[in-house]
Amino acid sequence: MNKIVLITGATSGIGLGCARKFAANGDRLILTGRKKELLDEISNELTAKGTHVLTLVFDVRDREKATQCIENLPAEWKDIDVLVNNAGLALGLEPEYEGCYDDWDTMVDTNIKGLLTMTRLVVPGMVKRDRGHVINIGSVAGDAAYANGNVYCATKAAVKTITDGLRIDVANTAIRVTNLKPGLVETNFSNTRFHGDTERAANVYKGIKPLTGDDIADVAVYAANAPEHVQIAEILVLATHQGSGSVIVRQNQ
């Protein structure tokens, strides 16, 4: 059965990959992001291929705007089947004692509080209908800290704990909850982390074939379409030459 899938942070990277893969699966999409022009481009692309798309422009850090958008969904879009909490970012790569306060606030407000806001707004409807699936995009960084990753790693460790807690809280329902943890994925992630330093960002992926947003989206679609009695609770996806968050074997270096 075709589903209504809400994807946050859908304008690039894993979010965009999820939009395209769920569209190819025949699902209807609610796409959120901060940039209207990018959402419009993606909507036009997918609509031209026959996908029903609704776009919502807001930052998940803005709880008031997020609430307004979700509470005022058209009737035919209210019964959300899958929530993909993808919006998230890393900022900075410095020792904790040299970190930027603003970077910390942005990561915590987006990666943790934004995810909680969307969960709080969408999951009550799932509970009422006794069906649904929440897919939180975590990270290998949530399993163990790596050098200079401190606060970002902490936010993704929080995603793991929050996801586990939600899974326990809805175990009496038919709702499934997944923590999808990517390793090294080549998106604009590193460019954002390094505040637009493209050269430094490119070095992150040198000597190894990283994952793509589409690779992670494939896993999300698989989890969402597993048999109803199967709950993919947690899955770690790494590039072939990545052993952990801090172990990456680079070739020809």
Q: What is the pLDDT of residues 83-131, one digit of tens each?
A: 999 999 999 999 999 999 999 999 999 999 999 999 999 999 999 999 9
Q: Residue 248: its pLDDT value, please?
A: 92
- The band of 253, judged by pLDDT with boundaries at 50, 70 and 90, is low
Separation between Cα atoms, residue 214 and residue 14, nearest integer Å: 7
- The band of 19, judged by pLDDT with boundaries at 50, 70 and 90, is very high
> Model-level pTM?
0.95
Q: What is the pLDDT of residues 34-68, one digit of tens each?
A: 999 999 999 999 999 999 999 999 999 999 999 99
* pLDDT at residue 158 greater than cutoff 60: yes
- The band of 197, judged by pLDDT with boundaries at 50, 70 and 90, is confident
101 is catalytic: no
The residue annotated as part of the active site, out of 101, 152, 205, 222, is 152
The label of the residue with tokens 């190819």 reads: 24
Separation between Cα atoms, residue 253 and residue 242, nearest integer Å: 15
Domain ranges of the chain: 4-237
> C-alpha 93: how far from its chain's center?
21
CATH of domain 4-237: 3.40.50.720
